[in-house]
Amino acid sequence: MIKFTKEEGMTNQEIAKEFKRIADLLELKGDNPFRIRAYRRAAQNIEALSRDLSEIPEEERRKIPGIGKDLAAKITEYLRDGKIGALEELKGEIPEGLLEVIAIPGVGPRTAKLLNEKLGIGGIDDLEKAVSEGRLLDLPGIREKTVQNILKGIALLRKGRERRPIGKVMPLAEEILESLRSLKGVRKISLAGSLRRWKETIKDIDILATSTDPEGVMERFVNLPSVSEVLRKGPTRSSVIVDGDLQVDLRVVEEKSFGAALQYFTGSKAHNIRLREMAVRKGLKINEYGIFNEESGERIGGEKEEDIYNALGLPWIPPELREDLGEIEAAMKDDLPELIEPADIRGDLHIHSRWSDGSHEIHELVEEAKRNGYEYIAVTDHTKGLGIAGGLTEERLLEQKREIDSLNRKLRGFHVFIGVEVDIRGDGSLDLPEEVLGRLDFVVASIHSGFRQEKGKLTKRVINAIKCPFVDLIAHPTGRLLGEREPYDIDMEAVLEAARNYGKALEINAFPMRLDLNDIYAREAKKRGIPVIITTDSHILEQFRFMKYGVSVARRGWLEKRNVLNTLPLREFRSYIRRRRHAR
C-alpha cells in the first residue's frame, strides 16, 4: 500500500467532509437515522479539533467524542489510503448527483430518492429537464406547488448565499434590533442563533421578541426601510431579506416562554440535543415553550433561560460556549470558565498611525483609546519591507519614538508604548536589526508576504520570530482572511509549542476579516498556558470598536481574564514589559 500524501493541515476538514458525505448517502439510501446522526456528529467534532488527526496517536482517537471503534478505523483507513472503502461502495450504489439534489432547499432525501427511482433523475440538470417536460406531476404527492418550490429552491441554491463575517452582520443586526425595540408593543427582545453565540461567520439574523401586539410588530417589521423582500409573514414568525441577500427571521413568543424560546433558538443544535437527552433521562421534556414534567405535564419553567438549565441541575451556560464541545460536562462539574468580558480590556497593543498606513496622529489614537476606557496603547507601525504600507526605516522609527516620548511626558494615567509591527521576511529574518528592536517597548511580528511558501519554510519563519528575544507578540498567526484567503499552510502545533517554550504571546486579531487566532486555537493556547493578546489592528479610529469581536473569539475559546495580557492594569502591564526586557 502506498502512503497517501497531500497538503497537510486540511486533513481534518477532508475527513469531516467524507463523513458528511457518507451521512448524506446513507440518508438517500434510507438508512438508520441514528447511524446517520453519528456520522454528522463525528464530522462536527473533528472540525473542532485543533490538532491534525494524523498527529493524534491512533489509540487516542477514540477519545474524541462521537468517534468509536468503527469511525476510528475509518479515519485510519483514510489517512493510509486517502479514501474510505465504505464511502466508495456507497457511491457505487447511489448516484452522486443526488447529493446536489438534496442540497436544494426544500428537497430532502425522500424526494430525491423518489425522483431517482421513478424518473431516473441523477442530478440537478436531469431535474430541471424533468420539470420543463412536466414529468414531475406524474409522481405521487407532487403537485404544481411543489414543482414551483423546487424551481425556487434551485434558483436559491445557484445564488449560493454565502456566510458573512460576523463583523459585517452584527452592525446590521443591531440596527434592526434597535428599530424593533423602539416599537410600541415590543417588550423583551434579543438576538438569537449563531449571532448570539458570536460565531465567526453568520448565515442569517435571528431575533426573538415578546409583544402585547404581535401582529402590529410583524406588520412594522416587514415594512422596515431596509427590507427588500418579504419571504413570509405570520403572527409568530416572519422572514425578510435585507442588504441584498441576508435573511432576517423575527419570532414573537409569549412572555412565559421567552427563556425557553431564547434557549431553543440560540442553539447550537448539537448543544440543544444534548440538553434534551439529559431532560429525557430525568423524566423531563424541553421544547421552545418551556420545560415540563413528562408524566404529569406540569410546567417547571420557561420564562428565563436559567429555568431550563437549572431544572437539569446545571448553571446557566454562556451562549458562546453552546457548541457541545465540553461545556455541558464542565457545567455538570460546576467548572465553567469565568469568561473574559469586553470591559476587562485595558489597552490595545496593535495599532497603526499616520507614520505608516494608519489615518491618524498618535495623540488622536490616545484620545480614542481613552474614550474606550483604556489605560494604554502600543503604536505598532509597519516596517520598511512593507513599502506599500509606508513602512518605517530605522531612522523614521527612532524619530517616532521621540514624538511618543514627548507625548508620554504630558500624559497622566495613560501610557503609549513604543512598538512596531515588524515584518517577518521571506527568508525568516526580521525587517529591523535587533539593536533597533531592543530600544522599543513592544514588538509585534507578523508575515505579510510569501503566504504560499511550503509548510516547513513558513513554519520556520514564524518560529524564528518567536525565538527572537525582542519579539513579544506574533500577530494574526494563520493569516486567514474570512471568505478570501485560507490560513496559510503552517504547522500550528509547532507554532503553539514554540510560543509556549519561549513564553511568547499569540494574538487574537479582532479585525472582522481576520479573527485570527480563531476560537479553536485560542482554546488550545489556553490549555497550554500561552498568553493571548487581543488587538484591533486599527488603521482608523472607527476600528477601535472591533475589540468586541476579538473578545468574542476569546470567549468562544473559553478564555478568562487571566489568560489575556491586555486585561492587565497599566502598572502591571508595565512591569510585565520590564520583566520581559530584563530577561532578554
Partner DNA sequence: GCCGTTTTCGGCCCGACTGTTTTCAGTCG
Which residues of this protein are in contact with DNA, per CB under 7 A?
32, 34-35, 37-39, 42, 62, 65-72, 86, 102, 104-112, 140-147, 149, 193, 232, 234, 236-237, 269, 272-273, 276-277, 279-281, 285-289
CB of 294 to DNA, least distance (A): 7
Strands 237-242 and 227-233, sheet pairing = antiparallel
Half-sphere exposure of 307 (CA within 13 A, CB side): 25
Residue carrying C-alpha cell 531592543: 438
- Residue 101 or 565: the one with the smaller Cβ distance to DNA is 101
CB of 274 to DNA, least distance (A): 8
d(CA 377, CA 298): 56
Strands 246-253 and 347-351, sheet pairing = unpaired
- Residue 310 or 408: the one with the smaller Cβ distance to DNA is 310
CB of 81 to DNA, least distance (A): 17
SS3 label, residue 296: coil
Residue carrying C-alpha cell 464541545: 325
- Residue 84 or 351: the one with the smaller Cβ distance to DNA is 84
- Residue 106 or 171: the one with the smaller Cβ distance to DNA is 106
- Residue 71 or 389: the one with the smaller Cβ distance to DNA is 71
CB of 103 to DNA, least distance (A): 8
Q: Is 334 left (phi over 0), alpha (psi -120 to 50) or beta?
A: left
Q: Which of 449, 457, 520 is nearest to 489 (CA)?
A: 457
- Residue 277 or 572: the one with the smaller Cβ distance to DNA is 277
CB of 487 to DNA, least distance (A): 27
Q: Which of 321, 284, 332, 446 is nearest to 380 (CA)?
A: 446
CB of 74 to DNA, least distance (A): 8
CB of 326 to DNA, least distance (A): 12
- Residue 110 or 467: the one with the smaller Cβ distance to DNA is 110
**What distance separates the 2 farthest-apart alpha carbons in the chain?**
84
d(CA 305, CA 555): 19
Cα distances from 400 to residues 10, 78, 381, 439, in angstroms, run 42, 55, 10, 12
List Cβ<8 Å contacts ≥24 apart for 71-76: 71/19, 71/38, 71/39, 71/42, 74/19, 75/15
- Residue 75 or 397: the one with the smaller Cβ distance to DNA is 75
Q: Is 68 left (phi over 0), alpha (psi -120 to 50) or beta?
A: beta
- Residue 310 or 429: the one with the smaller Cβ distance to DNA is 310
- Per the CB < 8 A criterion, the answer to whether 424 and 447 are in contact is yes
CB of 482 to DNA, least distance (A): 21
Q: Which of 121, 555, 580 is nearest to 378 (CA)?
A: 580
CB of 271 to DNA, least distance (A): 11
Q: Which of 327, 416, 401, 408 is nearest to 368 (CA)?
A: 416
- Residue 108 or 171: the one with the smaller Cβ distance to DNA is 108
- Per the CB < 8 A criterion, the answer to whether 375 and 413 are in contact is yes
Cα distances from 234 to residues 191, 216, 222, 245, 256, in angstroms, run 19, 11, 10, 21, 20
CB of 272 to DNA, least distance (A): 6
User: Which residue type does 243 have?
Assistant: D
